[in-house]
Structure formats: C-alpha cells, structure tokens
C-alpha cells in the first residue's frame, strides 16, 4: 500500500538544518475527512484505504511507517519586514518522501502533529478552524489552477487546545486537528536566509545544489552561474504566482519570507482571504495592524522577499554574478505586470493586443471599488451576461454584482468602451466569449463566511458542509445546484459581515 518513505538526503550532510523528532500520540480520533484526488492521483491509494484504522492512525501521527523518521525543518525569516531570527517547523513534521507511479516525488507533512525543537513556547498543535480552512483552501487553489501545496486528509482530535484567537486575553478551549499536506518541496526563502545569516556557507551551498538538482532540472549542476539561473527562475515564477493570486482576489495574509516557497507555490495557509467587495486595501489578517500584507501590496512584498533571497545568495556570488542577479530582480515588476495584464484581459474575454486595454481594466476596477462590487461575481457575471443585455444597460436582477456597478454614473461609459473593444476580437462570437470567460472566472471561491459556516458545523461533528465545499470547490467554474442553494454565489450574508481572521491557529 505505502512504499517505504525516504528521508531528505543524507542526514550526515543535512542534519545541520534538519532536526529528527518523534511526536507524542494524539488523543482519540473524533472524525476524519480524506480527499480522493490526492489519495488516488498523487499517493496511488485506493480511496477505500482511508476508511481503515491503519490509515487514520498514520495521518493522525499515531503510527509511523516503517523506515520513516519524522523530521522538523529549521529556517528563519523576515516577519512583517523585520528579521525574526531562527523559526522552523513549530507544529509540522515531515514524515517522508513518496515517489508515485508517475515518478513524482511528494513530501508528506503532518501539520498540527505536536511539539518540535522549534515549537518555542507553543504546543505544536493546530486547531480545527485553521485546519479546515487549509484543508479546503489548498485544494480550492489547485482547482483554480494556482500552484499550491495539497491536502490529503483532515483528522479531528478530542484533545483540548487553548488559543487566544485575537490576542485580547480571551483564551478559549478549541478542538485539535491535523492536516496531512503534500508538496514537491517545503523549502522556502527562509531556509536559505537562516544559513546565510549565521555564516553556514558550506551548508548553504550544499542545500542550494540539492534544491537545484531535485527541483530545477533545467539548471545544470555544473553550471558556474547556476545560482543566478536558479534566482532568475524563482523571480519569474514568484511574479506569476502573485499575479495568479490577484486574478482570483486571493490575499495570503502573512507574506513573510518564511512563508514564501522557493518553488513558488502557495504554502502555509493561515489568515488568508478571498476578497469579497473589491478593495485594494483588503487585509484578511486582523493581526496585520500596519496593513502591510493588504492585497494591493502583495506584488511589492514579492519584490521585498526576493530581495531577501538575493541577499542570502550573495555570499556565494562573485561581483559579476551579483550585478547580473540584481538586474534580474529589477525586471520583476515588468514580469508581474505583464502576467497580471494577460490574466485580466482573459477575465474580460479580450483577444489580441489593443491600445487602451490597460485603461479598460483599470476603469472597471475603479467602478468596482467605488460601488464595493463583489470581485469574483462581477467577473463571473460578465461571463454570463450577453452583449445585447449590456447594450441595453438594463442589468437583470440575477446579475446582482453588475447591478451594483450599473448604479455608478460612469458605468455606461465603461460598457461602451468594453463593447467596442469586444468588436475588435477576431473570429469571435458572443457565445464563444462567454464560454471562454467562464473557464477563467470562477463562480465559487472559498470566501471567509463559507469556511466559517463549515467550521462551526465541524465543531459539532457535522462535516456535511466541509464535504459539500470539497465537492463544489473542486469544480469552481461549474454551476452547482447545491452550491446555489447554499448561497455560495450570492451576496455575503449579514451574519458574516464582521468576520475576523488572525494569525492564531
């Protein structure tokens, strides 16, 4: 069933930054939820295995696969712009690497599985509310076409976990949970920063060569400029990733360097949020008092984090390579904006290049901001409304997000420009436009109120909405009757207007 899982490389080489640990057993298992796609397509398991006691014990951390030695990873990071020193996996254990029948290597990690050498004053646990959110969102992001870690299972424990969710002195008892999450790698910018900061340059070089060999096959291991080529690829992929986040209104919430993957995938889901009313100042994290990680600043934070990566690489570069790497970093804004523009042109169904496309996009976003229109549903409803309906400027009630924008006095001017631009699409029709736009504009994303509703039920041992969201978010572009009944494509319910999410988990 499970092949032997191997640990990362040679412990004799890597034990300077990896700490081998075992974790204590959890309390009784209260419930578990697996994801069929990850189990069957990535881990080569028949889904029925998830119903066995052996599987539940494995994904809860109660049983270790023979030959596997759990480990926790040491890294550092810049948190909210300041160097935070040594951090590391404080509540996650890597239980091994699995190679599937396609020859892909996947690192399996339990999050919330107990104390590690890097737990500091923490208990190493994760609570149900944060675990449900990560379990659902990582898979939702994958279905949206955004590079991300994946979630294989969610196990709920009867352990008591105490948390001060909003850091206001109100400590409450919550239920513990563990997510089995998988990724090609969990290395992040902070993995290199910690070694450079403490002058562990031989290990820094060894680790970089390992990462390049394992995850950047197009970079030759013997190439003298391999670290510059590696940096160039990370810069490009990071620009693309953040542009993709923006295209679906996703705000990570804590874009610290210890949460930024070297493979440019979305990792470490904490106080994330999908923007509802369009607002460049949207901040999903209540703990972010300075609004550093607002959605409109994510691209700039990407630049900041890449600069910290370059600083970590600099001790291994000669003067010419340093200059070249600095020039690569200077090209980041163009890479980001080019990808951003292409994604938003696709969201509007625009083909080819036309002067004024940028203005058309900016004009719509301006109207959305002024009317506080829902980001996801505005673009989705533009995918569903016909050109003739737009021409009449009489927006049907079913298109409630567009209806809000239509109340702005400049809406007719935007519609006129938009329809004129659509006429320039070569060999296109209105039905083809709508069909094309419906493949890039989701009808469903994991808004905070949806996750909160599922969490509240899960806390009462009712996982029906977790499972409903699992199914719906696997097909975010398709209309789903149960999702419509649940209001997932409707305005945010009044009870959820003041929901808050923090770094606490």
Q: Is there a domain that residue 318 lies in?
A: yes
Tens-place pLDDT, residues 380-401: 999 999 999 999 998 999 999 9
The catalytic position among 258, 268, 288, 374 is 258
**Residue 191 near residue 262 (C-beta atoms within 8 A):** yes
Distance of CA 469 to the CA centre of its chain: 17
Same domain, 196 and 296: yes
- Domain edge (last residue) among 186, 208, 241: 186
Residue-wise pLDDT tens digits, 218-245: 999 899 999 999 999 999 999 999 999 9
Q: Is residue 83 over pLDDT 50? A: yes
**In a shared domain, residues 174 and 200:** no
Predicted pLDDT of residue 32: 59
Residue 239 and residue 179 share a domain: no
355 found inside a domain: no
Q: Is the pLDDT higher at 163 or at 476?
A: 476
- Express the helix, strand and coil content of the chain in percent, nearest 5 each: 45, 15, 40
**pLDDT tens sequence across 346-377:** 999 999 999 999 999 999 999 999 999 999 99
Domain carrying residue 41: 11-186
- Residues 181, 197 within the same domain: no
How far is it, in rounded angstroms, from Cα 299 to Cα 278?
17
151 with 200, same domain?
no
Specify the number of domains making up the chain.
2
- To the question of pTM greater than 0.95 for the whole model, the response is no
Domain co-membership, 203 together with 158 = no
Considering the domain boundaries, does residue 463 fall inside one? no
Over 243-260, what HEC string results? HHHHHCCEECCCCCHHHE
Instruction: Encode pLDDT of 457-505 as tens digits.
Output: 999 999 999 999 999 999 999 999 999 999 999 999 999 887 888 765 4
Are residues 57 and 42 located together in one domain of the fold?
Answer: yes
| Last residue within a domain, chosen from 341, 366, 400 | 341
Q: What gap in Å lies between CA 364 and CA 349, rounded to an integer? A: 14
User: Is 415 inside a domain boundary?
Assistant: no
- DSSP-derived letter for residue 404 is H
Residue 392 lies in a domain: no
Give domain status of residue 46, yes or no: yes
Q: Residue 15 catalytic?
A: no
Of 186, 216, 250, the last residue of a domain is 186
> In a 3-state reduction of DSSP, which class is residue 34?
strand
pLDDT at 166 (0 to 100): 64
Predicted pLDDT at 159: 79
**Residue 312 resides in a domain:** yes
Same domain, 137 and 233: no
pLDDT at 454 over 70: yes
* Cα dihedral sign, 129-130-133-134: negative
Q: Are 80 and 130 contained in the same domain?
A: yes
């Amino acid at each position: 069933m499970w092949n032997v899982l191997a640990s990362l490389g040679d412990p004799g080489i890597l034990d300077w930054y990896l700490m081998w640990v075992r974790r204590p057993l959890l309390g009784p298992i209260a419930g578990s939820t697996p994801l069929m796609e990850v189990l069957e397509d990535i881990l080569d398991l028949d889904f029925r295995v998830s119903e066995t006691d052996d599987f539940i014990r494995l994904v809860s951390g109660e049983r270790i696969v023979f030959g596997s030695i759990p480990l926790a990873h040491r890294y550092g990071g810049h948190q909210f712009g300041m160097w935070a020193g040594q951090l590391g996996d404080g509540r996650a254990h890597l239980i091994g690497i699995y190679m599937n029948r396609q020859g892909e290597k996947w690192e399996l990690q339990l999050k919330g599985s107990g104390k590690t050498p890097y737990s500091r004053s923490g208990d190493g646990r994760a609570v149900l509310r944060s675990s449900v959110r990560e379990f659902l969102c990582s898979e939702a992001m994958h279905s949206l076409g955004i590079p991300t870690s994946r979630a294989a299972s969610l196990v709920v424990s009867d352990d008591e976990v105490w948390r001060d969710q909003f850091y206001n002195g109100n400590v409450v008892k919550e239920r513990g949970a563990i997510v089995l999450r998988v990724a090609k790698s969990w290395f992040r910018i902070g993995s290199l920063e910690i070694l450079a900061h403490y002058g562990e340059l031989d290990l820094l070089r060894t680790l970089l060569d390992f990462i390049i060999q394992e995850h950047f096959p197009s970079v030759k291991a013997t190439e003298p400029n391999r670290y510059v080529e590696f940096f160039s690829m990370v810069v490009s992929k990071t620009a693309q990733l953040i542009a993709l986040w923006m295209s679906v209104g996703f705000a990570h919430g804590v874009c610290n360097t210890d949460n930024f993957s070297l493979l440019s995938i979305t990792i470490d889901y904490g106080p994330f949020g999908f923007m509802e009313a369009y607002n460049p100042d949207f901040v999903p994290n209540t703990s972010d008092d300075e609004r550093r990680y607002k959605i409109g600043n994510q691209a700039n934070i990407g630049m900041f984090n890449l600069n910290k990566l370059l600083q970590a690489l600099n001790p291994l570069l000669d003067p010419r390579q340093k200059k070249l790497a600095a020039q690569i970093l200077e090209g980041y804004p163009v890479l980001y904006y080019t990808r951003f523009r292409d994604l938003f042109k696709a969201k509007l169904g625009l083909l080819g290049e036309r002067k004024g496309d940028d203005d058309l996009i900016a004009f719509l976003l301006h109207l959305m901001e002024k009317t506080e229109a829902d980001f996801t549903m505005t673009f989705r409803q533009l995918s569903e409304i016909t050109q003739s309906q737009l021409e009449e400027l009489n927006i049907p009630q079913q298109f409630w997000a567009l209806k809000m924008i239509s109340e702005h006095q400049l809406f007719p001017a935007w519609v006129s420009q938009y329809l004129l631009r659509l006429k320039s699409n070569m060999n296109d029709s209105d039905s083809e436009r709508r069909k094309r736009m419906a493949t890039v504009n989701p009808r469903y994303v994991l808004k905070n109120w949806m996750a909160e509703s599922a969490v509240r039920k899960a806390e009462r041992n009712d996982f029906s909405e977790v499972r409903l969201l699992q199914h719906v978010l696997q097909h975010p572009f398709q209309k789903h009757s149960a999702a419509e009944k649940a209001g997932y494509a409707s305005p945010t319910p009044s009870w959820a207007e003041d929901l808050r999410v923090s770094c606490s988990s």
